[in-house]
Amino acid sequence: MTTHEESVLDWPMPRSCPMLPPDRYAQLRSVPPQQVRLDDGTLAWIVSRYQDVREAMMNPALSVDNTLPGFPQRLPIPPVPRAQSFMRMDPPEHTRLRRMVMPELNKAAAKSYWPMVQDLVDGLLDTLSGQPHPVDLLPTFAFPIPALTIARILGVPDEDADVFQKQTMALTTCDPGSDAGAEAFGSLMAYLDDLVRSKEAEPADDMISRLVRRYVATGELVHEDLVAMVFLVLVAGFETTANQITLSVLMLLRQPQHAQAMLRGPEELDRTIDELLRYWSIPQDNQVRVAARDTELGGVPVRAGEGVVFAIPAANHDECVFPDAARFDPGRDARSHLAFGHGAHYCPGAPLAKMELQIALPALFRRFPGLRLAGDFADLSFRHDTVVYGLDALPVTW
């Protein structure tokens, strides 16, 4: 990879406004893919235009295998083969394993989970209504919803959900390759290993048990791969959804007219959620690949072994696709956003995440019509240095 070192931008990039992507992304969209310097000093290509990102996500020359040389390590998870299941696999193995779990996460499955999630949300709101306020919505609402939802789907006891919250947060807030991240990864994998073994010994009526009966018992899936699959479902569906709920509430508190419009019906709700997903684009720094062979991105040659970064917030704020992109506008059609990815690696848990948002957001604003920030917006602490964008706390009152 050749470059003029003095002109290379550092990545991740700082935000001048916590409500918007980094300013530099607008500049990057005006030129072909450029090289950036990662926080470990290595170089990678950054793809920021919507169409370029969309095409790159479908480029078979770009690999998600984090054990390959040159892969940009952004998550604080050791690059252990198969440790992250099909998230870090290429076809055909990715296709084989993904097909096993999709019936548990598709639209039909999400619809079947609706009553369970509704009861969970109602219970959290009942508890909130009896607490003195102000309260922090992160530990009392935003985090428990995905944590308990996934725990119940997998067959994890409710009393262990707190373990998931703490260890998953530790995993996603640590520096890549740090000792703390490796420790959190090891602890969580050990717990899940024991959980899967218990389901293999005594299957019940839950996702893990169904996978045991369908695939482990037939020899199509080995124990270790099932543990990795469960780990992927848990981690991918907890931290992202929790932060999306939190930032969505913040946006609707700052623009209450849209909160009221969201409550008018399912069409308004769905448009609001798609726009919230586009606007925030919370997978800010975790969509990365490595070129498994020579290829081309946006007209620029990329050599085998060179890392590639997908700037999802930049793509979702591309004015060529979303005019006046910096404005939160639930009236626009934002269904083509890339917050869940695109192509073979489109997020398998997208229907579940959207369902949780469809339940949580209107329920919160109906229960507390006077909901408002407790304190000044300027005092909020945003999580700029993590691979998933979010807040450290969201204090509210009513």
Spans of all domains in the chain: 5-397
Chain-centroid distance, C-alpha 290: 20
Cα four-point dihedral sign 47, 49, 50, 51: negative
pLDDT at site 2? 46
3-state secondary structure the chain: CCCCHHHCEECCCCCCCCCCCCCHHHHHHCCCCEEEECCCCCEEEEECCHHHHHHHCCCCCEECCCCCCCCCCCCCCCCCCCCCHHHHCCCCHHHHHHHHHHHHCCHHHHHHHHHHHHHHHHHHHHHHHCCCCCEEHHHHHHCHHHHHHHHHHHCCCHHHHHHHHHHHHHHHHCCCCCHHHHHHHHHHHHHHHHHHHHHHHCCCCCHHHHHHHHHHCCCCCCHHHHHHHHHHHHHHHHHHHHHHHHHHHHHHHHCHHHHHHHCCCHHHHHHHHHHHHHHHCCCCCCCEEEECCCEEECCEEECCCCEEEECHHHHHCCCCCCCCCCCCCCCCCCCCCCCCCCHHHCCCCHHHHHHHHHHHHHHHHHHCCCCEECCCHHHCCECCCCCCCCECCCEEEC
Nearest to 236 by CA among 338, 156, 143, 347: 347
Nearest to 372 by CA among 259, 246, 253: 253
Residue 82, judged by CB atoms within 10 A of its CB (0-12, 13-18, 19+), counts as middle
Mean pLDDT in consecutive groups of 10 residues from the start of the chain, 398 residues: 66 94 95 92 96 97 94 71 82 94 96 97 97 94 92 86 71 63 80 94 95 96 94 85 97 97 96 98 89 96 97 97 98 97 94 97 97 97 88 97
CATH ID of 5-397, from 1.20.120.1630, 3.30.465.10, 3.40.50.170, 1.10.630.10: 1.10.630.10
The distance in angstroms from the start CA to the end CA of the chain is 55
Q: Which two tokens stand for residue 313?
A: 């917030």
**Can you give the pTM of this predicted structure?**
0.93
222 near 100, Cβ under 8 Å?
A: no
Cα four-point dihedral sign 79, 81, 83, 84: positive
Nearest to 311 by CA among 376, 387, 368: 387
Q: Which two tokens stand for residue 211?
A: 């996978």
